[in-house]
């Protein structure tokens, strides 16, 4: 199993290109299943999760042509099976995104329980609610079997603003008969990207960017060429890394408006950045001091559905807070196991009180010491990389497969910025 060896204490310096949005790439790959015409996807990050999704697509009978490191042409005339192979489903939670397209194209989808990050319970109920409202029946016997000879548009109120459930409902509804209204829909930038891709294929969707989506079903979708947006979660990770290593970083390509919730949260820690066009500049000199709420109260950073602070950045900002003067409360509302990685930070010297599975109080700054760590999920793994790069001494991070599921060519890119990081066995 591969590991990272990191020598901490070196500021990152230079320019880096933002990668394509992982959370947009995965549903867009699934959406290619909705047409029998070729689909070309560009700006796709070269990461493990993408490769697994492409393998699922091929297992269903599709062909994938690699045009470049970050571009693919996909084609699937006749779907040969409606069953997702168990070996792929267990690797990646996003495998469930094939349920909606398979239902729309074949009237059936068989999906083993999906895998993915170990960050607590991740409900599938909202997927079932949406697809059953559209006319599907669901049976569970080791695998989930969805059946729907005909999908019919419906007025659906989602019981939570689930990103993947919204995406599944969208992909089923675009080929359903009649009108579908999705209320309490997720509206993250990656959901918007999926909507825009579907529209370029001939789908009729109104309300993109809001939590109410209206879909008029069509009989057939065409192929398309679509470029996904950049990954604001990756950009937030690099901003945090630059700040805590006291480096100066230019990030090319971010969609600046996607960073607004992140900027509010980072500003509470005395971290800011500038932008010119689509280039974000993280200055070398940052205040790195907690900005208290009115009356000198301890500020809180909490995640929320879009346009709130992204849940995937709570791990990152927790590490950043250990290097900032003052005290802050981080409240991760969505997953009950995501904050458990902080015991590793405490072992490195961080002053953190884990109040319960969702809340941590961090007091800084503290000098972190190099340590041997194990990555439990994508974002906590990246948080450990950031901690190791600002720590004194050497660190080893195991299970880096989890990190590489979401961060493209991480070792090479950080090395190009002056990071002392090596990948080995």
Catalytically annotated residues = 117
Residue 385 and residue 6 in contact, taking contact as beta carbons nearer than 8 Å: yes
Q: What sections of 32-174 are H helices per DSSP? A: 48-59, 86-89, 99-106, 125-133, 163-173
Residue 421 and residue 386 in contact, taking contact as beta carbons nearer than 8 Å: no
Bridge partners of 397, per DSSP, are 4, 373
Phi, psi angles (nearest 5°) of residue 183: -105, 150
Q: Is 90 exposed, middle or buried (0-12, 13-18, 19+ CB in 10 A)?
A: middle
Residue 29 and residue 425 in contact, taking contact as beta carbons nearer than 8 Å: no
Question: What is the torsion angle, in degrees rounded to the nearest 10, for the CA atoms of residue 295, residue 301, residue 302 and residue 305?
Answer: 110
For 153-256, strand residue ranges (E) read 155-157, 179-183, 204-206, 212-216, 224-227, 248-252
Does residue 251 have a cis bond before it (omega within 30 degrees)?
A: no
Does residue 365 have a cis bond before it (omega within 30 degrees)?
A: yes
Q: Is 235 exposed, middle or buried (0-12, 13-18, 19+ CB in 10 A)?
A: buried
Q: How many CB atoms lie within 10 A of CB 141?
A: 6
């Amino acid at each position: 199993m591969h590991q990272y060896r990191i020598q901490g204490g070196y500021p990152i310096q230079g320019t880096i290109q933002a990668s394509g949005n992982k959370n947009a790439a995965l549903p867009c790959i699934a959406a290619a299943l909705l047409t029998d015409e070729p689909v070309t996807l560009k700006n796709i990050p070269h990461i493990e999760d993408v490769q697994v999704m492409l393998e699922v697509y091929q297992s269903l009978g599709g062909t994938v042509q690699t045009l470049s490191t970050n571009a693919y042409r996909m084609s699937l005339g006749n779907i040969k099976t409606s069953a997702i192979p168990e070996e792929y489903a267990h690797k990646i939670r996003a495998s469930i995104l094939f349920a909606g397209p398979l239902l729309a194209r074949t009237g059936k989808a068989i999906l083993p329980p999906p895998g993915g990050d170990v960050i607590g319970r991740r409900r599938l109920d909202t997927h079932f609610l949406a697809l059953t409202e559209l006319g599907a029946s669901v049976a569970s016997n080791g695998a989930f079997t969805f059946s729907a000879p005909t999908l019919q548009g419906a007025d659906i109120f989602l019981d939570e603003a689930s990103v993947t459930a919204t995406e599944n409902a969208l992909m089923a509804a675009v080929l359903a008969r009649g009108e579908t209204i999705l209320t309490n829909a997720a509206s993250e930038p990656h959901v918007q990207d999926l909507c825009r891709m579907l529209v370029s294929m001939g789908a009729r969707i109104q309300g993109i960017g809001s939590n109410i989506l209206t879909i008029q079903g069509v009989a057939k979708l065409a192929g398309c060429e679509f470029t996904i947006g950049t990954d604001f979660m990756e950009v937030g990770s690099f901003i945090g890394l630059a700040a805590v290593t006291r480096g100066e970083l230019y990030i090319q390509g971010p969609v600046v408006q996607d960073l607004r919730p992140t900027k509010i949260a980072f500003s509470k820690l005395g971290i800011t950045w500038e932008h010119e066009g689509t280039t974000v500049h993280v200055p070398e000199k940052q205040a790195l001091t907690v900005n208290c709420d009115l009356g000198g109260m301890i500020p809180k950073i909490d995640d929320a559905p879009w346009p709130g602070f992204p849940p995937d950045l709570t791990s990152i900002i927790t590490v950043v807070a250990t290097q900032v003067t003052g005290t802050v409360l981080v409240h991760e509302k969505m997953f009950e196991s995501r904050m458990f990685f902080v015991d590793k930070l405490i072992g490195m010297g961080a002053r953190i009180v884990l109040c319960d599975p969702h809340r941590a109080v961090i007091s800084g700054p503290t000098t972190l010491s190099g340590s041997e760590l194990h990555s439990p999920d994508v974002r906590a793994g990246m948080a450990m990389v950031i901690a190791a790069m600002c720590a004194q001494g050497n660190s080893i991070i195991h299970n880096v497969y989890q990190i590489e599921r979401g961060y493209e060519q991480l070792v090479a890119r950080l090395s190009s910025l002056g990071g002392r990081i090596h990948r080995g066995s």
